[in-house]
Structure 1
């Protein structure tokens, strides 16, 4: 029998966090495997219609770019093909600084970023099991249409979003915080809108209210982001929220079917706006944008107070620049709390490190945070940074080192940004 293939670092999940982790590990010299269950990299940006990179920039005036390294490599590729508009300051109530992205450009950019030595990528590949030896993860079982196969690793990064690697491998995890997780949102993209037509959120809210008054019972949320995306100029909207168990296929199936029906109800409502007579749905999801499910329990939990106070840590491995943005159940308003001085907060390595599985690191929305802290950590711009940090830490651990100074030095060599005082100002553009 052939022995299982051995990698220094195995990364599960090919979203922003997973790409950051895999590229970071490979750039640190580790033989790395990146595993993604879908047909493309990008996660929420390419498979869930979340066409905004948040967390790349601070929110004040002036704004600073807080994420470099792999995140900046992705931005550079997107700029080359005109697939990004950034940094953009959107209107009230959030007044947030974000990047608008085209999903097809993101697919291409990420394909290009992972074409580096030491890195193997498997799409269409499911994680179906994980095995540990003593305290440490030892191997994973992967499945494609040929059947299952085992792959052995020295260190692992869970960037799966749902925490499957950690859970299957016996690491300490929890669902949400106190068994409560944020609501998810189905991103819907609309086309066929005449140039010059009113694209404001206020005009949409008016049309939705009028449709509700006329008996359209599928409409619930009236206020939400309406944003034109690069290349096509289609409108990206985040109006359809739902609470569901992200780990349960029956629950997520029901949410997605109901969400798609509601998308058509919103289409009927906006077609009453002048210039929207020929509007149509370009795409829904196809997956719901899940904000929170499992967290890996780490050696430190990033708290709401850490975010709002702009906390500093000696073991900083990334900067958080996105405020608290917590989406409660039902139609309750979003909780938005700013970072002190609209700056950054430090994300410590301890929050990425499993409390009971020393060769496992968490990245993206799996990083240990309480309700408020997790709501600031989860966004894709920040996920590039936590992913890169997890990948570098895993690569050094695979060589027998876990010194924070060495991890920080390698991250800075790769262009990651760890020092708030060294950030560069970026010019923001107001959304037209």
Structure 2
């Protein structure tokens, strides 16, 4: 073990949307905060898997309502300043309301929001262990190319996407649903050189993929995917290459990503051959990482349930809102949706963000304590900003008071302009 050691009030592991929001929330509550991320940039799935859409900032009603503010709104404002965001986009086919993103602008915007808060980002860093005493985490063990080192703190937030810190600390988790099955993963394709007049309607893509299969193309899975034009360029985002993968296992990830890249090139050839406007298209980027939707779920002090979200439940201990419909992905099939009552929103209780059995650990993002139906809604990026913000403030309240009183957490979130 290296003699190198750091000490903070709050440490957040994982620099995706949930982790960024948690770190900024804790820092804005006055805590010395560290944000640890293994990649060379922040953003998680949005930037590292090229999921260049923020889903869940708005309800799907007509007119839509913004339900995520606070740190998430700060990121949107940074994107506005970069002229990369003006208003959300409603998909004419699904009716879903989303924010379309530019990858580099998103990376930069997240940097600026974190730095402005005073939180310290630490990129290129892996969390590999936890020191637990008397039911609380005293420190975490980290690794970079200098070797191992310790980071001590009074409170922690697990926003890793895989519940890594919760497992390392001895918390209870569940893999996938009750049978251990996970939603399909997708390798996102960024395609350049697409003519402005190209018709991106889903039916046209479905027809040519079906025809290509009849002609002997065997490397294609999904026939009904999503194709969206990205802001500031002629590039399009295409989501077709599906795989089932254990996102915790390097062998499974290796096989899935190589297989999905093979699919991506096959899809490109089909689009070049059959879709007008794609004749000069090229594959600008895949991934870099396959978009893993689901691995572990934390067992929390409370559980967000599917029946509650579908009924648009309101609760007195709410610290976040979710408004994305239940969205379930199986390999090769179009997404299946179930809508929240009135296409409105539901509220998320603080107890679903508190890791059971570990006094000073909260969770955020797709790993929060929820059943499979609730997960299929709450996992999206906009909602992750909201749960991350709440988890960061709860951790900060614990540092200051030794407890996280829900009314105190709500008061601080409101002060930080969260929508609850």
Q: If the length of structure 2 is used for normalisation, what is the TM-score?
A: 0.97
> Hey, what does 1:407 align to over in structure 2?
409
2:284 to 282, 285, 290: 282
SS at match of 1:266: helix
Distance 2:4 2:55 in 1: 43
Residues 49 and 323 of structure 1: is their aligned pair in 2 closer, same or farther, counting only changes over 3 Å? same
Aligned to 1:235: 236
- How far does the alpha carbon of each residue in 1:167-190 deviate from its partner, in whole angstroms, 9 at most, with x for none? 111111111122121111111110
1:188 is paired with a residue whose SS is strand
1:221-260 Cα offsets, whole Å, 9 max, x none, are 1111100011113110111111111110000110000000
The aligned residue for residue 253 of structure 1 is: 254
Partner of 2:139: 139
Task: Indicate the SS of the match to 2:257.
Answer: helix
2:80 maps to 1:79: yes
* TM-aligned CA distance change 1:79 to 1:118, over 3 Å: closer
Kindly state the Cα deviation for residue 85 of structure 1 after the two structures are TM-superposed: 5.3
CA deviations over 1:96-131 (Å, ceiling 9, x no partner): 111110011000100100113541110011111112
SS at match of 1:231: coil
Whether the aligned pair in 1 keeps the contact of 2:222 and 2:241 (CA below 8 Å) is: yes
Match of 1:422 in 2: none
Contact 2:59/2:343, CA 8 A, preserved across alignment:
yes
Partner of 2:296: 294
Asked whether the equivalents of residues 127 and 143 of structure 1 are also in contact (C-alpha less than 8 Å), the reply is yes
Aligned equivalents of 2:249 and 2:87: distance in 1? 36
Structure 2 SS opposite 1:78: helix
Matches within 5 A, 1:194-233: 194-233=195-234
Structure 2: give runs of 5+ residues left out of the alignment.
none
1:354 CA displacement = 0.8
Distance 1:197 1:359 in 2: 53
Instruction: For residue 325 of structure 1, give the secondary structure of its aligned residue in structure 2.
Output: strand
Q: Which residue of structure 2 lines up, in the alignment, with residue 428 of structure 1? A: none
Q: Does 1:122 align with 2:122?
A: yes
1:198 Cα offset (Å): 1.5
In structure 2, relative to structure 1, the CA distance for the partners of 1:333 and 1:225 (3 Å cut) is: closer
Q: Secondary structure at the match of 1:278?
A: coil
Greater mean deviation of Cα atoms: 357-366 or 193-202: 193-202
> 1:3 Cα shift?
7.6
Aligned counterpart, 1:113: 113
- The equivalent position to 1:314 in structure 2, one of 307, 313, 316, is 316
1:312, 1:345 within 8 Å by CA — same for their partners in 2?
Answer: yes
What is aligned with 1:68?
69
Q: How many residues align?
A: 416
Aligned to 1:326: 328
Other structure's SS at 1:177 match? coil
SS at match of 2:23: helix
- Cα deviation digits, residues 330-377 of structure 1 (max 9, x gap): 334432110111111000000000111121111000111111101111
Rounded to whole Å, the distance in 1 between the matches of 2:171 and 2:356 is 8
Does 2:368 align with 1:362? Answer: no
| Residues 205, 85 of structure 1: alpha-carbon distance in 2 compared, 3 angstrom cutoff | farther
- Note the aligned Cα RMSD (angstroms): 1.3
* Deviation per residue, 1:397-419 (Å, 9 max, x gap): 0112311111000000000000x
d(CA) in 1 for partners of 2:334, 2:121: 40
1:24 paired residue number: 25
1:82 Cα deviation after fit: 2.1
| Contact 2:223–2:333 (Cα < 8 Å) also in 1 | no
| Cα distance, 1:70 vs structure 2 | 0.3
- Given that residues 299 and 355 in structure 2 are in contact (C-alpha distance below 8 angstroms), is that contact kept between their aligned partners in structure 1? yes
Aligned partners of 1:326 and 1:371 also within 8 Å? no
In structure 2, distance between residues paired with 1:35 and 1:3:
16
Quote the offset at 1:4 in angstroms: 3.2
State the distance in 1 between where 2:228 and 2:335 align: 18
Q: 1:227 to 1:333 in 2, by over 3 A?
A: closer
d(CA) in 1 for partners of 2:4 and 2:232?
A: 48
